[in-house]
Amino acid sequence: MRWNTFRASFKGLTFRERTLLGFLMLPAHLLLHVEGREHLRSIQRPFIVACNHNNAVESLLVPAALMFLLQGEKISFVIDWMFGKVPLLGSLIELIDPVYVYRKQSTWRRLEMKRPCQPQRSVLEECSRRLSLGRCVGIFPEGVRNHDSAKLLKGRRGIGHMALRNGVSVLPVGIDYPLRVKKGRIPFIGKTIVRIGAPMHFPLRIAEYRAASARTGRAGLCRSTFLAACTTYDIMLEIARLCGKCYDFPSPSTDNFESPNVTTQEDLCRV
């Protein structure tokens, strides 16, 4: 793989964006080994990238590497707002045109004072807007960094709603570390294996989801939520296979979504 971001194929980026991407590709070249790059070429645009989440470093290097492999095409990852406010780091994150989540409070008082008001659109609405414009979106369905070397956290239903509502494919990506296998722990930084899986399509489920969403009343809402949960479950199983962890959660059951005590609304996953 050539890592020169100033070649002609990247002419769609500004000079500043090329410089920032080139800066990020220096550590990415040393740390990342990417498998399954052919799936990036075969998937129809727009699409959703779904990754497991181990540490903070990968949340910057992996999106940058995917952007590089797509020859400068941006993937708007869902990211906590405070990372965009950190000097230098914020400039690097802006490179991927992120979708910010504003609910989490920062432990740094000065940074917390800069937290913007809640946006008019929800994260799901903002991601859907970008997908409708032909832009790709990236999600960490676990919602938080997961330092467990063997198990994934439960995937949040937001990614299922997003895929079915917008009728787009999902590109599963597993992030793994040789050190996880050798020593049973997730490193803060180290050699990283990025496995890109085959695109996942849900045409029948999309049609049923849209039909259920068009119905009024709780029955339609419960059905669409169940379909989103099933889609999330399938995505998490594939991510588990790609990253080498297990997903120890039962498959969704319709009984779980028909109880009047079950909440069928869920915000999109945070990082």
What are the pLDDT digits (tens) for 179-209? 998 988 999 888 999 999 999 999 999 999 9
Cα 20 to chain centroid distance, Å, stands at 21
Average of per-residue pLDDT values in the chain:
87
How buried is 217 (Cβ within 10 angstroms: 0-12 exposed, 13-18 middle, 19+ buried)?
A: exposed
Residue type, 252: P
Order the strands of the 32-35 sheet from edge to edge.
Answer: 32-35, 192-196, 169-176, 47-51, 136-139, 75-80, 99-101
Smallest Cα–Cα separation from 116: which of 126, 103, 127, 129?
103
Neighbours of 57 (CB within 10 A): 15
Q: How confident is the model at residue 14 (pLDDT cuts 50, 70, 90)?
A: confident
Q: 29 versus 239: which is more confidently predicted?
A: 239
Q: How confident is the model at residue 20 (pLDDT cuts 50, 70, 90)?
A: confident
What are the pLDDT digits (tens) for 137-179? 999 999 989 999 999 999 999 999 999 999 999 999 999 999 9
Q: Give the per-residue SS3 of the chain.
A: CCCCCCCHHHCCCCHHHHHHHHHHHHHHHHHEEEECCHHHHHCCCCEEEEECCCCCCHHHHHHHHHHHHCCCCCEEEEEEHHHHHCCCHHHHHHCCCCEEECCCCCCCHHHHCCCCCCCCCCHHHHHHHHHHCCCEEEECCCCCCCCCCCECCCCCCHHHHHHHHHCCEEEEEEEECHHHHHHCCCCCCCCEEEEECCCECCHHHHHHHHHHHHCCCHHHHHHHHHHHHHHHHHHHHHHHHHHCCECCCCCCCCHHHHCCCCCCCCCCCCC
pTM for this prediction: 0.89
Q: How confident is the model at residue 118 (pLDDT cuts 50, 70, 90)?
A: low
